Amino acid sequence: MARIITVGAAQLGPIARNDSRADVINRLIDLMKQAKSVGCDLIVFPELALTTFFPRWYMENQVEIDAFFETEMPGTETRPLFELSAHLGIGFYLGYAELTIEKGQTRRYNTSILVNKSGQIIGKYRKIHVPGHIEYKPEQTFQHLERRYFDIGNLGFQVWRAFDGIIGMCICNDRRWSETYRVMGLQNVEMILIGYSTPQETHLSQFHNHLVMQDGAYQNATWVVGVAKAGREEGCDLIGGSAIIAPSGEIVAKSITLGDELIVARCNLDLCQPLSNFEIYRQPQYYQAICEQKSVTSEDV
């Protein structure tokens, strides 16, 4: 019997700087209810889904900065989303800004979590490919200060057995780099969940957005679910273009608006059976050879 996950990609339109957590959570709750009404097992929200994309502003006041971060998950304001997840029996992926203490030091990460149908966190990822710059650049119309506000993720590219499959996570700029997909592919990943908040920088922005996700899906025989922030948010145009992509590299569902929108696909995980010689090249000997720059013979695999 085919292993089917019905997935909802929950694109979000603009979030204003002064929108409260409660306002945003209500929007997520509405999308979760829509997803459940059409039979979704899993709903995927974007990167930094609880606030506006605050790294576009240069800030020096740490109290002002930390107001965008979550110190616990779930917390008082986000708990209703977890409670609804458990009540409806639907899992979710959520991107947010995480503030935590590690070995006595305060750390701040661009984070995503995977939550099961019982409303329990079963996986966490912290963004590794953190883009942008640290100091203010007056010559730029928009700042991109992620490196000012976020530490580099320290959890690696893990996968989790959930929803009758093998699920991986990454965030935004991670999707640009082949090693993101490759490391999870070597762990036999069957679906990669990606939240992003990407500005419309050139006429090629949307083309490149889909290109890298389709390429990652095809080369690693995995489903990819890419979910965007979209629309004109605080003067910055975000590309949207949320998409659910099959292991063949084909887009099977895509958003058509720049606002809150749910797109849905029934994803057969059995289609992830490696195509052509993919199974051979997923062997860990190849990855070790890449890292150590040594040769691999056919007897090794």
Number of Cβ within 10 Å of residue 154's Cβ equals 10
Q: Could you tell me the two tokens for 5?
A: 């996950």
Handedness of CA 46, 270, 116, 27 (dihedral sign): positive
Length of the chain in terms of residues written: 301
Q: Is 266 exposed, middle or buried, given 0-12, 13-18 or 19+ CB atoms closer than 10 A?
A: middle
Rounded Cα distance between 249 and 222, Å, is: 9
Pairing of β 243-245 and β 251-254: antiparallel
Please provide the DSSP assignment of 12-52 as one string.
Answer: B----TT--HHHHHHHHHHHHHHHHHTT-SEEE--TTTTS-
Which 8-state DSSP code applies to residue 84? H
- Asked whether the beta carbons of 230 and 238 are under 8 A apart, the reply is yes
Distant-in-sequence, close-in-space partners of 292: CB < 8 Å, separation ≥ 6: none
- Asked whether the beta carbons of 168 and 191 are under 8 A apart, the reply is yes
Please provide the DSSP assignment of 98-165 as one string.
Answer: EEEEETTEEEEEEEEEEE-TTS-EEEEEE-SS--S-SS--TT-SS---HHHH-PPP-S-S-EEEETTE
Rounded Cα distance between 282 and 274, Å, is: 9
Tell me the catalytic residues: 47, 127, 172
